[in-house]
């Protein structure tokens, strides 16, 4: 009984230094793995989307620009042919034929804008669906910003956008939630370590005055009695 009670009275040893190091190492690795992995997944997903959308849309955009230039050249050739083929140039007949041809040209331009997504530029070098433009579009899709100045025009581009958003938006929200938790813990840690420490810190007490020994009064009395 005495040995058992003595064993119970001994203080429990805390966790060893090795286990403490392993615990905090595991916490740090878990934190870094969760945050870095999610951010890396979002970045990789956006880069993959950029290459995919550029492959689907860049060629079509260049094709539409070249088609507009071809249509304009055809109109110019038709107008020259109308003028050249007229033996007698009558203003009324020539004007009527030119107006009909220009009306067809306007209809073709409207069709190219609505169905093909022509942006009004014929410069083949100024393409919207570059790698940076496609990356920007990938980001605004999964963040639900929807800037609007760039959008897919092909059928496959529109279909891929739907499935890309279905997978990317939850991934982006999960990443934002994880980053929000990290920021909340960081601000809470700073608040308790800085603000609360300053507010609850005890003022320093002044040091006690040095102790001075007084002279003994009994010693002379004893010496007198000895005499």
Contact 140, 53 (CB under 8 A): no
Same domain, 83 and 107: yes
How many CA atoms does the CB half-sphere of 31 hold within 13 Å? Answer: 12
Q: Is residue 105 part of a domain?
A: yes
Q: What is the pTM of this model?
A: 0.62
Q: Is residue 79 part of a domain?
A: yes
Report the first-to-last Cα separation within the chain, whole angstroms. Answer: 65
Give me the CATH number covering residue 188: 1.10.287.70
- pLDDT at site 54: 92
**34-90 residue pLDDT tens:** 778 888 899 999 999 999 999 998 888 888 888 888 888 888 888 888 777 777 667
Range of the domain at 195: 129-200
Same domain, 141 and 192: yes
Residue 2 pLDDT level (bands cut at 50, 70, 90): very low
**204-226 residue pLDDT tens:** 666 666 656 555 555 555 545 54
**Looking at residues 130-140, what average pLDDT do you find?**
91
Residues 162, 192: Cα–Cα separation, whole Å: 45
Same domain, 160 and 117: no
Q: Is residue 141 part of a domain?
A: yes
Q: Total domain count for the chain?
A: 2
């Amino acid at each position: 009984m005495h040995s058992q009670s003595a064993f119970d009275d001994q203080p429990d040893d805390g966790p060893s230094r090795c286990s403490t190091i392993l615990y905090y190492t595991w916490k740090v690795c878990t934190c870094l793995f969760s945050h870095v992995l999610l951010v890396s997944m979002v970045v990789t997903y956006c880069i993959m989307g950029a290459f995919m959308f550029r492959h689907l849309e860049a060629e079509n955009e260049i094709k539409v620009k070249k088609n507009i230039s071809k249509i304009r050249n055809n109109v110019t050739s038709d107008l020259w042919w109308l003028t050249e083929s007229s033996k007698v140039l009558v203003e009324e007949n020539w004007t009527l034929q030119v107006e009909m041809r220009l009306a067809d040209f306007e209809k073709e331009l409207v069709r190219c804008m609505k169905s093909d997504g022509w942006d009004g530029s014929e410069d083949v070098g100024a393409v919207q669906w570059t790698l940076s433009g496609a990356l920007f579009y990938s980001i605004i899709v999964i963040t639900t910003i929807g800037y609007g100045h760039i959008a897919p025009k092909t059928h496959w581009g529109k279909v891929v956008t739907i499935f890309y958003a279905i997978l990317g938006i939850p991934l982006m929200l999960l990443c934002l939630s994880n980053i929000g938790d990290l920021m909340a813990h960081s601000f809470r840690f700073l608040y308790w370590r800085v603000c609360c420490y300053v507010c609850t810190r005890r003022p320093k007490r002044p040091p006690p005055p040095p102790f001075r020994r007084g002279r003994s009064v009994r010693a002379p009395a004893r010496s007198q009695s000895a005499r």
